[in-house]
Structure 1
Amino acid sequence: MNRDSLKKEAIEVLQKMIKFKTVNEPGDEKPLAEYIKDLLEEIGLKVKLDDLGNNRANVIGRLKGTGEREALLFNGHLDTVPPGDIQWKYAPYSGDVVDGKIYGRGSADMKGGLAAMLIALKLINDSGLKLKGDFIYSATAGEETDSIGAIKFVKDGGLDGVGAIIIGEPSSNGVNIAEKGAFWVKISTYGKTAHGAFPDEGINAVVHMNAFLSELISYKFKYEENELVGQPTMNISTISGGIKTNVVPDKCTITIDMRTVPGMDHYEIVRDFEKIINKLSNEIKDFKADIKVLNNRAAVETKSTDPFVKLAVDTIKQEFNKEVKPQGVNFYTDASVFLPAKNIPCIFYGPGDANMAHQPNECITIDSLIESVHFYYKMIENYLVK
């Protein structure tokens, strides 16, 4: 395939992927998974469509090698966030090509990566190169919320025999090797309702939440600063309490978004919060509160000294004459499911800028898409052939 043909096919595949509306929630990833399944089968892979119900699915393809080496896994997610309420310059599901850019929801996050991986795989298969290990392509559902697809993939043994992972998240064609974790909790305080004219007959849950927040403000995480992702953060995101101005509120709820760094124990945070609740229960009459975990994503990291990371950096140097330094990101990916299940070297590399993700007028450049195809091709060759 010459460069013009490669470019044309990569653009067409990405445009078709963008036109599948896979907004999570609800997801509706199955039609896109079926489209990818057909492409993988045309290339010659053994393919499984894993139906998750409710019009959702994973698709997994495998190209067999000789078994001399462990498998290489390429992973990406099928779902996107909604386009939002702000008017787009180009329709969010058009895949319009304008001034060397492809526009559309999911173009960067991360259907561009999925498309580039597919084209690279086709090039590898057409080349006739003999793979010394299996190549696995997995496109999973639900990464933007609960990673339902990645969890099912791991549960089904998808990581068995895998020696390295590339996740095609947007990285501006650089190498990311670490990501912050996400730990979201809901905390509720409970009181007793009463008429607003007789507040002493009630127990005000909002006032009790104020007491909890006053303690929380001075809370300090236990952690070691990570040179790639820095320090943990906490955002008190929402608060809800009371039903009417003339009623004493009997419940108040907050949600908290904490972004953690590698090495932190999320349930140590829960235990610390429980200590605050117990302290207030002893100090304040009728104080009651509880904690519910909403999202628990571990912070993960592959060391920069790992041979697979070095292979990626060296490949970029050799093929594009660029020096790159591995970086970390503040958001989470399906790596937060994969790496706690099996400690495998993992990098994130893909077309597009992560700052375009979830934004109106999301787009990637055609140049970054083609560069990603080339990188993926060379990584398959360098890891599974040479």
Structure 2
Amino acid sequence: MTEPTPAHYIEQHRSELLDLLATLVRFDTTNPPGTNYDAITQHLVAEMQRAGLTAERLPIPRAALETALPQDQWDFPRFNVVGRREVAGATKTIHFNAHYDVVPVSGRWRHGDPFSGTVDDEAIYGRGTADMKGSIASLLMALRALQETGVEPAVNIEVSFTADEETDSVLGADWLVHHAKIAPDYVVVMEGGEGRHVCCGHNGVTWLRVVVHGKAAHGSQPEHGINALEKMSALVLALEGHKHDLATRTFTTPNGTVMRPTLNVGGVFGAGPGGKINTVPAEAHFTIDRRVLATETVDAAEAELRAVLDRTAASIPDCRITIEKISENHACFNPPDNPFFKAMAESVTKVRGETAEFSVSTGFNDMHFFSHHFQVPTLGYGPGGDQIHAVDEHARVRDLMDSAGIYADLLVKFAG
């Protein structure tokens, strides 16, 4: 009788994979504020131990919470989870990472409860199914398949499940790479690439808030004031020139996609305090989302944007502004010429039956923390899904199964 392979085990245990994911989805880990982190991380430790890894929770110290979080979140503890499996004779280590927090929910969901984990029409529904508890379930199934079939991986395995990616990762992946005892030679962050696309980099972003200062006056005598809304409108319109300049800069990805930096104005905007219909507005504000190409740096992009804003405001009479930094995330790019990338592409092609290609994500994820800190080959791949961050988020069952098979295949054949 032929011994079962990890691939056969995964195919025969479809219901186990879906149960794994449904259980994870039912932990409402909405961030902010960061609910049920304690419960889900205890569960994740148990699941990794079942799959043959040693695992532990790494609690974030209270002082770090109070430094990084607003006060109304200090009583929501943060944990990161790390697991490891040492393989006799293996000299290299592959690290897998995923985040377990999810964005808040809204709207009316197809199956009522957005944390139901309901399977319907070959998809599983619920907040986090696609972003990115589906990746966690697929990896756990791959690790379980190796354990249950007795197939030895070719490399040591490290796994981290981290907090707070949906805010800024300061207490998640960022904290992990600086404080946890991990030593990866290769990293798979389990999002950013899906289907036939293996992600070898992603854009960065700098977020700014621009406050325009005017002068209040009675609405019947606007000549005595400085209308902050009018000045803000002139400033925003003048930024069109910078948008056109950015559009002339290009980066061509390994699969031939031409990417350009973008500028999105006014995701959040509004008036200052004291607004009234018969008052000249004394303050107005808006946000800027500047996407940073993998070939740029956030520092240079921010400095350029600040200079453009200052110069443009100076050209508008009585336009006085204050620029505030909200947040940033760094871009990264790993040329896919390392054997690790070839091995992942071969696993994707083998399991999915379609030729893999290397892509760069327009969004950002936690790849850059590992890539920059450890200076090791880092890629992104997971099952992905549809309606991410939206009503009726879901992941396709076939993609979950395939991702589990791809992870298992990579671990068995790639020795580093």
TM-score (norm 1): 0.90
Q: Deviations over 1:83-117 (max 9, x none)?
A: 32133245321111223322211111111110111
Task: Tell me which residue corresponds to 1:181.
Answer: 204
Q: Corresponding residue for 1:23?
A: 30
Task: Select 1:287's aligned residue among 319, 341, 350.
Answer: 319
Q: Which residue of 2 aligns with 1:230?
A: 259
Q: Give the direction of change, closer, same or farther, for the CA distance of 1:270–1:326 in structure 2 (3 Å limit).
A: closer
Root-mean-square deviation over aligned CA pairs: 2.5
Q: CA deviation at 1:321?
A: 3.7
Q: Which residue of 1 aligns with 2:409?
A: 378
Paired with 1:282 and 1:109, the residues of 2 have a C-alpha distance of: 43
User: CA shift at 1:127, angstroms?
Assistant: 4.4
Q: Which residue of 2 aligns with 1:198?
A: 221
Q: CA deviation at 1:168?
A: 1.8
1:101-112 → structure 2 map (5 Å cutoff): 101-112=123-134
Select 2:16's aligned residue among 5, 9, 20. 9
TM-aligned CA distance change 1:364 to 1:210, over 3 Å:
closer
Q: Mind listing any 5+ residue stretches in structure 1 that lack a counterpart?
A: none
Q: Report matched runs for 1:121-140 at 5 Å.
A: 121-130=143-152, 133-140=155-162
Which residue type is aligned with residue 21 of structure 1?
Answer: D
Contact kept, 8 Å, 1:178 with 1:229, in 2: the verdict is: no
Deviation, 1:281, is: 5.8
Q: Give 3-state SS (helix, strand or coil) of 2:300's partner.
A: helix
1:251 maps to which residue? 283
What are the equivalent positions in structure 2 for 1:66-215 lying under 5 Å apart? Answer: 66=88, 68-89=90-111, 91-130=113-152, 133-148=155-170, 149-157=172-180, 160-169=182-191, 171-172=194-195, 174-215=197-238
CA 1:311–1:361 in 2, change beyond 3 Å: closer, same or farther?
same
Counterpart AA for 2:24: M
**Fraction of identical pairs, as percent:** 26
Tell me, in whole angstroms, the C-alpha distance in 2 between the residues paired with 1:216 and 1:97: 47
Task: Describe how 1:45-84 pairs up with structure 2 within 5 A.
Answer: 45-52=53-60, 54-66=76-88, 68-84=90-106
- Counterpart secondary structure, 2:252: coil
Deviates more, 1:226-235 or 1:186-195: 226-235
Is the 8 Å Cα contact of residues 189 and 379 (structure 2) preserved in structure 1?
yes
Report the 3-state secondary structure (helix = DSSP H, G, I; strand = E; otherwise coil) of the residue aligned with 2:404. helix
Aligned equivalents of 2:116 and 2:50: distance in 1? 25
Distance in 2, matches of 1:99 and 1:282, equals 58
Do the aligned partners of residues 252 and 326 (structure 1) sit closer, same or farther apart at CA in structure 2, a change above 3 Å counting? same
What do residues 22-77 of structure 1 show as CA deviations (whole Å, max 9, x unaligned)?
12211223321111011112333222212236133211111123575232111111
Task: Give the length in aligned residue pairs.
Answer: 383
Structure 1 residue 306 displacement after superposition: 2.5
The question of whether the paired residues in 2 share the 8 Å contact of 1:189 and 1:288 is answered with yes
> Conserved in 2, the CA contact under 8 Å of 1:226 and 1:262?
no
- CA change 1:282–1:79 in 2 (3 A) is closer
What amino acid maps onto 1:217 in structure 2?
E
Q: How does 1:353-364 map to 2 (within 5 A)?
A: 353=385, 355-364=386-395
The Cα of 1:254 is off from its aligned counterpart by: 0.7
Q: Give SS of 1:333's match.
A: coil
In structure 2, runs of 5+ residues without a counterpart are 66-75
